[in-house]
Amino acid sequence: MHKHTSRDAQIDEIKDGFRLTIPAGGVGRYHLAQYDDYHGHARKDFNHRSALSLSLLARASAASIPGTWGFGLWNDPFGWSLGFGGNTLRMPALPNSVWFFQASPENYLSFNEAPGNGFLAQVFRSPPLPLARLARVGLTLPFSRVKARRLLGEIIEGRAVRLSTAVTEWHAYRFEWSPRRCTFWVDDALVLETSLSPQPPLGLVVWIDNQYAAFRPSGKIGYGVLQNPGSAWLEIKDLKLQGDPK
């Protein structure tokens, strides 16, 4: 596992786990604390292929933290955090992920009718870069962002459910990922089951940052970093990943 932080962010050990903390800061300065198992690797060399389960205990410092935080598996499709810093530079890809994901209201990360912000159990599945279809999205974007978003939603499949979990309290989170299904539980209660499954390989990621990205149903696009009125943290305990790596 690798620790990855921006300046003034930190990752500290706690009993049976760790705490990721980002500091207070103004607009325009990116803050990240991240724990992952893929830093420095090419995307094709990420560890996880299928038939895997993740379980942990987690709590956050506030119900809504400006930016995003979460834990799960993804393909790190941007690699440079939309220009604000991040991991080893990689060619962009379309998103594949299975995770618990908190996105503050400034975010909107859905291309269909699934919720795009809040605390989510979420899955994305995308094919390898379909250049002709993406070119059609690009050609449409200057004339109709709403239509371009719809076309993008035909490429990037997503399923999500917004959770009412009190994230400032300790809860047990678990998901199972197989080639044909993803299933999520909170405190042993089933919260999402879907036949949608992300394309491997994927990497494990646990993070908190002050970044946002949005492509809303209205066609409005936005991204950037948000002001943190105070420091924010995410605590993780008893992280277990079960399944065969590649």
Tens digit of pLDDT for each residue in 46-89? Answer: 999 888 999 999 999 999 899 999 999 999 987 644 444 444 55
**What is the C-alpha separation between 78 and 43, in angstroms, rounded?**
11
- What sections of the chain are H helices per DSSP? 131-140, 145-155
**Strand stretches in 23-166, DSSP E:** 32-36, 48-60, 68-74, 97-103, 118-125, 157-162
Domain-by-domain residue ranges, the chain?
Answer: 2-245
**Average pLDDT of the chain to the nearest whole number:** 91
Q: What is the pTM of this model?
A: 0.92
Least confident of 40-54, 105-119, 187-201, 202-216: 40-54
CATH topology of domain 2-245: Jelly Rolls (2.60.120)
| Residue burial 24-56, b: 16+ Cβ < 10 Å; e: rest | ebeeebbbbbbbbbbbebebeebbbebebebeb
Rounded CA-CA distance 106/213 in Å is 7
More confidently predicted of 86 and 19 = 19
Mean pLDDT in residue range 11-25: 95
